[in-house]
Structure 1
C-alpha cells in the first residue's frame, strides 16, 4: 500500500491534463500491474512533464522507449 501511495503522490504534476490522466491510470490500472509494470510506470514518472505528456498523446514516437510501451499504452487508453 505504501508503494501505491508514493506513486499516487508522484502523479501530482504541473500540467493539469497530465494530473488527470495519471490519476485515472492509478484508479484503473495500477493495482493490476506486476513488478515490471510498476518499474515501467516509475520510469515514466521520471520524465519531465512535457516529455511525458508528448509520449502519452503520441507526439513522441521514440523507439528508444520500447521497454516502456506496455504501461505507456495503458496510459494512452485512459
Structure 2
C-alpha cells in the first residue's frame, strides 16, 4: 500500500527534527518546514533517501567540509540555502 502524501510529508518532517545531532535537527527542520509541502514525489523520494544517511556525513556535506555525493548535490545546495536565509 502506498503511503498518503500528507502522511509522508509529516513523517519526513518528524525525521528531519529528530536527528542524531542538534545541528542537523535545526538545518533539516528549517528546510522541511519551508519545502516539503511543495516538493514533487521524486523530490520526496530523494529527501527520504538523504534522511537515511549518517548525520556526521550530512553535516560535513551541508557545511562543505567534504564533497557531497553527486546524487544529493542539488538537494544539499537547496538545504544549505534554505538554512542560511
Report the TM-score, using the length of structure 2 for normalisation: 0.80
Q: Classify the secondary structure of the residue corresponding to 1:29.
A: helix
Instruction: Pick the structure with greater CA Rg.
Output: 2
| Per-residue deviation, 1:23 | 0.7
Q: Given that residues 21 and 55 in structure 2 are in contact (C-alpha distance below 8 angstroms), is that contact kept between their aligned partners in structure 1? A: yes
| Cα pair 2:13 2:32 within 8 Å, conserved | yes
**Please, which runs of 5 or more residues in structure 2 have no aligned partner?**
1-5
In the other structure, the counterpart of 2:14 is: 9
Q: Match for residue 33 of structure 1?
A: 39
Question: In angstroms, what is the RMSD of aligned CA positions?
Answer: 1.2
Tell me the matched-pair count.
76
* Cα distance between partner residues in 2 of 1:70 and 1:32: 16
Q: Which runs of 5+ in 1 are unaligned?
A: none
TM-score (norm 1): 0.86
Deviation at 1:57, TM superposition (A): 0.7
In structure 1, what is the Cα distance between the partners aligned to 2:44 and 2:53?
Answer: 15
